[in-house]
Amino acid sequence: MLEFSAQQIALMIQGQVEGDAAVTVNNFGKIEEATAGQISFLANPKYEAFLYSTAASIIIIGEQQQLKQQINATLIRVPDAYAAFATLLTKYQELKNQQLIGIQTPSYIAPTAKLGANHFIAAFAYINEGTVLGENVKIFSNVVIGENVKIGHHVTIHPGVVIYADCIIGNHVTIHSGTIIGSDGFGFAPKVDGSFQKVPQLGNVIIEDDVEIGANTTIDRATIGSTIIRKGVKLDNQIQIAHNAEIGTNTVIAAQTGVSGSTKIGNHVMIGGQVGFAGHISIADGVKIAAKSGVTKTIKTANMTLTGNPASEQKHSLRSQVYVKNLPELEKRVQELEILVQQLSQKA
């Protein structure tokens, strides 16, 4: 268990200590539940009451936070408490990973595989022929890495991940449990007799630097060429990326979204959960897409917000929803008008 003083933590997150700079913590806790020896933070004003009742030894708070009564904990003041706490968690995880060094048994590493410095290979991992690992790569149990896979520096691959042959993983990438990278794309050609012939998937998957991929996500290899996940992309759990798709720089995608084959998503796009994309379309940079939307056509306008199925600009979609909500009342009024017209016709 790693232990740090308030002064050490303040140096990590560039904060100012108020109170006992020598007090130490060895764990994290939510402000409403934290105990002695833990560090917490206050970023949401609705939790301010816990600032005065928590048992946490250290609390990270904003520079502008005004105290209404005395606090027993040591405070570390920073410009942004939430961002500082995230930075601290990241540094803590990095330090824990640095302690993982070496090769556990049983595991299999092919004779032609090349391992960089400070690697960690957990028991029951399988690393195939021609694989190249950079420095500070951490591979956990039941990971399978296919032939000729290239993995950069500072990569963490969690238990149960499978990376098929010839895929390329960049630097500072995290891949969570159960993810499959490089499985065959869904390519089948219809035959005259009504059956389907499989189209061989000969490409690969390229994942650039600073990407994080959630658990049980699947990224298919390209038919020819590459399926590409650009730098800084963040993928949630249970996402499907089909063959030859491309996800642009710093795009974020929430869970259960499906991206069909050869679709190109731009840079800095934000995609909610359960969004579906048709194949062979493109999405402009900066687009925001609400959860459960169905995107069926190319979006050329940057920075617009889409919602609905089929997806359309948010204000148009919301207006349509109002009309749909009012349909029962409109139907009733039409029926009344029909009766009135009939009555007038009978009197004529």
Catalytic residues: 243
Decide if 73 contacts 24 (C-beta within 8 A): no
Decide if 58 contacts 23 (C-beta within 8 A): yes
Decide if 33 contacts 10 (C-beta within 8 A): no
Check residue 129 and report its DSSP letter: T
Decide if 244 contacts 262 (C-beta within 8 A): yes
DSSP reduced 3-state for 283: strand
One-letter amino acid at 221 equals R
Is the preceding peptide bond at 159 cis, omega within 30 degrees of 0?
Answer: no
SS (H, E, C) 37-60: CEEEECCCHHHHHHHHCCCCCEEE
- DSSP states of 313-333: EHHHHHHHHHHHHHHHHHHHH
One-letter amino acid at 248 equals G
- DSSP states of 129-164: TT-EE-TT-EE-TT-EE-TT-EE-SS-EE-TT-EE-
Decide if 39 contacts 56 (C-beta within 8 A): yes
SS (H, E, C) 216-236: CCEEECCCCCEEEECCCCEEC
Distance of CA 281 to the CA centre of its chain: 22
Quickly count: other Cβ atoms within 10 Å of residue 24's Cβ. 17
